[in-house]
Amino acid sequence: MAKIIIQTEDFDAAAEAAQITQNRHDIGALVSFVGLCRDESQTLSALELEHYPGMAEQEIARIAGEAEARWKTKGLTIIHRVGKIKPGEQIVLVIAASSHRGDAFNAADYVMDFLKSRAPFWKKQHLLDGTSGAWVDAKDTDEASLSRW
Amino acid sequence: MAKIIIQTEDFDAAAEAAQITQNRHDIGALVSFVGLCRDESQTLSALELEHYPGMAEQEIARIAGEAEARWKTKGLTIIHRVGKIKPGEQIVLVIAASSHRGDAFNAADYVMDFLKSRAPFWKKQHLLDGTSGAWVDAKDTDEASLSRW
Amino acid sequence: MSVKLVYFAWVRERIGFGDETIDLPPEITTVADLLSWLARRGENYAYAFEKAAFIRAAIDKKHAPHTTLITGAREIAFFPPMTGG
Amino acid sequence: MSVKLVYFAWVRERIGFGDETIDLPPEITTVADLLSWLARRGENYAYAFEKAAFIRAAIDKKHAPHTTLITGAREIAFFPPMTGG
C-alpha cells in the first residue's frame, strides 16, 4: 500500500526515504523523484497549485496501485503539495523502493507520468509584477509519454 | 561536469541533492538513486567492495560524460562507497537534475546501468558465521540491460 | 435529476464560481449533452466551454469521457487538462 | 617489454597477490596471448584464468577486449565481470 499525502506544507524527502528503508534489509534500490518549481525567465512570484479534493487522492491511489501491480515495489510514497509554491521550492515527491533498480526506476517513472496527466491538479502563475498570469498549459509531450507504458 | 566521489564513508543523499539545487531556479526535476546492501537470507555480515583505483573514477567520469552528452542535465552527482558495508547501509548514490523529468530519469537510469557492468567494482560476501562467502556474480540481466540504450 | 456540478482552474474562473447544484432536464443523458446544455446557459458558461472537446470531465470523482452516461451521477466535474506533478 | 600486471577480486585471490611487474617475451602481442601465457606460469595462474573468455582486461585503466594489442601498455589489469552499484 502506497503512502499518499496532499498537503500545503513542504516535505522532507530524506525523512520519507528513511521511513521506507528503516529496519529493513530487503531493499536494494530506492528511486526518489522531486519536482521543483522552475522559473528560468525570473518573472514568477509563485505557482498556485489547485486540486480536486477527494478525486486527487483517489486518482493517485489508483495510479500507485497500478504501479504496485506492475512492478515489485517494497515501498511507494507520493506527496503532492497544493497552494502557493515559490521558485526553487518542492512541488511533488515520489519514492519507489524495491529489491532491484529496474522495478524502482520504472515504478517512480510510471507514477510521475500518470500523475502529470491524470491526477486533478492545475498550476496558475503569479508574477513578480503583481499580476496573475496564465494557467500552465498541459503539454502534448506529457500525454504522449503515457504511450510508453 | 559531474561530481564523482569514491569513498569508504557513508554519504548524505539529501545534502548532495541540496548542493545541486541550492540558489537555482532552473531545475524542475531531481532523480536520486540509492543502492543499498540487501540481505534477505539474513546470513550476511557485510559486503566488501573492492575497486580499481584510478580506473574506477575514470570509468565513472566517462559514463557520466556520456549521460551528460545524451540528456540535458543540470547536475549529476555520483558517489560509490568501497570497503565493508553492512546490510541496510548505502552503497551507491546517483543524482541527476534537469529542467524536465524525462532527462533526469534517463540520465540516472543510464548511469546506474553502466556503473553496474562497466565500472571496476567487485563485491565479496562476509557471512555472519565468520566465514568469507563467495564473490557476488555478475548478472546476465545487468549486461542485457545495457542494450536498452 | 438533481446533480452537483464542480468546476476547477480556468473553467471555474470563467464560470465565476466553483460549484452549483442544478436540476437537469431528462433529455440530458451524456457528459457531451450536459456540456452543450451548460454552454447555452449564459456567456460565462459559453466562454468556459467554448472548446468543449478540450474540457475534461469526472463523474463522482472518476475520469469520464464525453460519451459517458450521467445516469445516477451525484457530482460531475469539469476542468482543463491537468498540469500537476 | 616490461609491464605492470594488476589483479582484482577473485583473480587476485587465486593468483595470490595484487600486482607484479614482468618482462614479456616479444611474441606476446594481444591480451589473449598474455592470458594464455600467464595461465601456463603456474597452478595459481591456471586456476585464475581457467575460464579465460570470462576474464575482463583493462590496458592503462581502459577496458580492453581480448583482441587488443598490448604494445606500449604500462599497466594491464585482469579481473572478473564487475559487480558494482
Tens of pLDDT, residues A53-71: 999 999 999 999 999 999 9
> How does pLDDT run along chain D (85 residues), one tens digit per residue?
799 999 999 999 999 999 999 999 999 999 999 999 999 999 999 999 999 999 999 999 999 999 999 999 999 999 999 999 9
Contact by Cβ (8 Å): D19, D4:
yes
Question: What is residue C58's predicted lDDT score, i.e. its pLDDT?
Answer: 98
Please state, in angstroms and as integers, the Cα–Cα distance from residue B58 to each residue in B54, B119, D34, following that order.
6, 9, 24
- Domain for residue A149, yes or no? no
Contact state of B120 with D82 under an 8 Å Cβ cutoff: yes
CB B52 to CB D58 under 8 A?
yes
pLDDT recorded at residue A40: 86
How large a percentage of chain A has pLDDT more than 90? Answer: 88
User: Is 80 exceeded by the pLDDT of residue C69?
Assistant: yes
Query: Hey, what amino acid is at B91?
Result: I
First to last CA, chain B: 21
Question: Is residue C45 included in any domain, yes or no?
Answer: yes
Query: What is the per-residue pLDDT across C59-68, written as a single tens digit (0 to 9) for each?
Result: 999 999 999 9
Mutation target to probe the A interface, by most A beta carbons within 10 A, among B21, B26, B85, B92 is B26
Q: Which helix (H) or strand (E) holds D31?
A: helix D31-39
pLDDT of the residue at A143: 86
Tell me the mean pLDDT in the region A12-21.
98
Produce one character per residue of D57-73: b if its CB has 16 or more CB atoms within 10 Å, e if not.
bbbbbebbebebebeeb
Q: pLDDT of A97-127, one tens digit each?
A: 999 999 999 999 999 999 999 999 999 999 9
Q: Has residue B149 been placed in a domain?
A: no
User: From its phi and psi, is residue A17 left (phi > 0), alpha (psi between -120 and 50) or beta?
Assistant: alpha
Query: What is the number of structural domains in chain C?
Result: 1
> Which residues lie below 8 Å from residue B22, measured CB to CB, with a gap of 6+?
none
Q: What is the pLDDT of residue A21?
A: 97
Structural domain harbouring C72: 2-79
- Partners of B42 on chain A (C-beta within 8 Å) are 25
Neighboring chains of A (3 or more beta-carbon pairs < 8 A): B, C
Distance from CA of A25 to the nearest CA of C (A): 31
How many structural domains compose chain A? 1
Q: Is B112's CB within 8 Å of D85's CB?
A: yes
User: Looking at A78-87, A129-138, B120-129, which range is the least confident one?
Assistant: A129-138
Q: Which residues contact A88 (CB under 8 A, 6 or more apart)?
A: A36, A37, A39, B21, B23, B24, B25
**A133 pLDDT higher than 80:** no
Alpha-carbon dihedral B109, B111, B113, B118, rounded to 10 degrees? 180
Kindly state whether residue A99 falls inside one of the protein's structural domains. Answer: yes
Beta bridge partners of D62: D59
Provide ipTM, 2 decimals.
0.94
Residue of A nearest to B31 (CA): A33
The domain spanning residue B38 has which CATH number? 3.90.1170.40
Q: Which domain holds residue A31?
A: 3-143
Is A148 inside a domain boundary? no
**Burial degree of B56 (CB within 10 A; 0-12, 13-18, 19+):** buried
Cross-strand partners of C30: C69
**Alpha-carbon gap, residue A37 to A43, rounded angstroms:** 13
* Residue D60 resides in a domain: yes
Within a domain: D85: no
Q: What is the mean pLDDT of chain B?
A: 96
Q: Is pLDDT at A94 greater than 90 in this prediction?
A: yes
Q: Is B136 helix (H, G, I), strand (E, B) or coil?
A: coil
Structural domain includes residue C84: no
Nearest to A38 by CA among C83, B14, B93: C83
Quote the mean pLDDT of chain A.
Answer: 96
Which of B57-61, B126-130, C64-68, D48-52 has the lowest average pLDDT? B126-130
CATH number for the domain that contains residue D28: 3.10.20.30
In a domain, B53, yes or no: yes
C36, burial (CB in 10 Å: exposed 0-12, middle 13-18, buried 19+): middle
- Backbone phi and psi for residue C25, each to the nearest 5 degrees, phi listed first: -65, 150
Q: Does A6 score more than 90 pLDDT?
A: yes
- Which of B85, B121, B132, B145 would you mutate first to test chain D, the one with the most D CBs within 10 A? B121
Helical residues (DSSP H) of chain C, grouped into ranges: 9-15, 31-39, 43-48
Rounded Cα–Cα distance for residues A105 and A30 (Å)? 8
The three cell numbers of residue C29 are 443523458
Tell me how far apart the alpha carbons of residues B82 and C27 are, in angstroms, rounded to a whole number. Answer: 72
